[in-house]
Structure formats: C-alpha cells, structure tokens
Structure 1
Amino acid sequence: MIIYNVTINIDESVHDKWLLWMTEKHIPEILATGKFIKATLVKVLIVEEMGGTTYSVQYFAESAEKLEAYYEEDAPRFREEGAKLFADKMLAFRTELEVLKEFNA
C-alpha cells in the first residue's frame, strides 16, 4: 500500500471556499480516477508561523504502479485546477509513503 500525502496550507481569505471545493469536488474526482481506494482529510493542529490553516490529504493506492498512473494520467489537470482557483493563497507539498505494517489496538 502506498500513501500519496498532500499537505496544504490555505490562506484564511479563501479557506471556506477551498474546503468546500476539496470535500465536494476535488477529492471525490481524484477517487473517481480509480487510482486510489480511499482518502483521508485531516487538519494539522500545529499553528504555522506563516498563518493560514494546514491540512493533509492522504490518498491510498494499492501499488506504486497505480500512483505512477495517477501522476501520468491525472495529476497535471488536478494541480492546474487548484492553481487556477487558489493561486498564491495555497501552498502544497507532496510526499509518498509506503505502508510497511498496520497495527490495531
């Protein structure tokens, strides 16, 4: 299992519009590509010096190949849409994580 993690800091002036877009449009459309089996949206509780609110979206892919297919076939248009809508009001960085083992209580 591969987790594609996108961490986003969003300016307060567009926060509500961005959050609605993420939950109602962006995340559902990414899941509709069939490259991921689920997604989790979390709020980062640490206050950033730069201001704004920070979130992390974790998209779960069954394999590195599925993630690579997303990069090649889908990612450019999704990134472009976010840049057009929120421009300099949104700062994002991405990481890839490999699940080694899961533990439950």
Structure 2
Amino acid sequence: MILYNITVIIDEGIEAEWLQWVNETFVPEALSSNLLVSNRTLKVLDSPNEGFTYCLQFIADNLQNYNQFKDNHASALLDSLTAKFKNQSVHFSTIMEFIN
C-alpha cells in the first residue's frame, strides 16, 4: 500500500475556512477518482513553521493506482488548493510505502 501525503502550511487566519474547504471539496474530489481508498487529516502539533501545519494523507492500494492518480488528478487538485488559498498557504507532497 502507498501513502500519499500532502503537507500544507496555512496562515492562522484561514484555518476554519481551509478546514471546511478541505473536508467539503478537496478530500471528496480526491476520493472521487476511485484510485485512493481512504484518507485522514492530521494537524502537526510541534511544527516549527509559522501558522498551522496539516497533513492530508491518502492511501492507494498499490503504486500503479497512485501513479494513475498522480498522472490524471493530482495536478488539478493541487492547483485548486493553490488558487483557493493563494499567498496564504504552501504545500509539498511525499509518497511512502507501507512496510509493516
């Protein structure tokens, strides 16, 4: 299984609006691809960054499904995040493979 993690650092003043948008728009859109099987949203409690840091985590059953998601859906999804919260957030993505 593959974990697709998007770390997002947001300005303090937009936390409530950002969380609502993530839950109502971003996550449902990502899952609608049917290539990601589950998700979770985590808040980083000891982030050294200003503002708030969140991790949006999605699970793909295999690397093929993740690559298909990346190739066909990820750019548009991340572009919507950038456009919606321009100059109020930054993000980066990582992928990890489950070992145990």
Same fold, TM exceeding 0.5?
A: yes
Q: Counterpart in 1 of 2:18?
A: 18
Please tell me whether Structure 1 or Structure 2 has the larger radius of gyration of its CA atoms. Answer: 1
Report the counterpart of residue 99 of structure 1 in structure 2. 98
Structure 2 Cα separation of the partners of residues 7 and 80 of structure 1 = 14
Unaligned runs of 5+ in 1: none
Output the CA distance in 1 between the equivalents of 2:47 and 2:58.
24
Q: How much identity, in percent, do the aligned residues show?
A: 28
Determine the C-alpha separation between the residues in 1 that align with 2:75 and 2:93: 14
TM superposition shift of 1:83 = 1.1
Structure 2: gaps (5+ residues): none
Q: What does 1:60-79 align with in structure 2 at a 5 Å threshold?
A: 60-79=59-78
Shift >6 Å, 4+ stretches = none
Distance in 2, matches of 1:58 and 1:39, equals: 5
Total equivalences in the alignment: 100
Q: With structure 1 as the length reference, what TM-score do the two structures score? A: 0.90
SS of 1:46 mapped into structure 2? coil
CA RMSD of aligned residues (A): 1.0
TM-score normalised by the chain length of structure 2: 0.94
Measured after TM superposition, the shift of residue 72 of structure 1 is 0.9
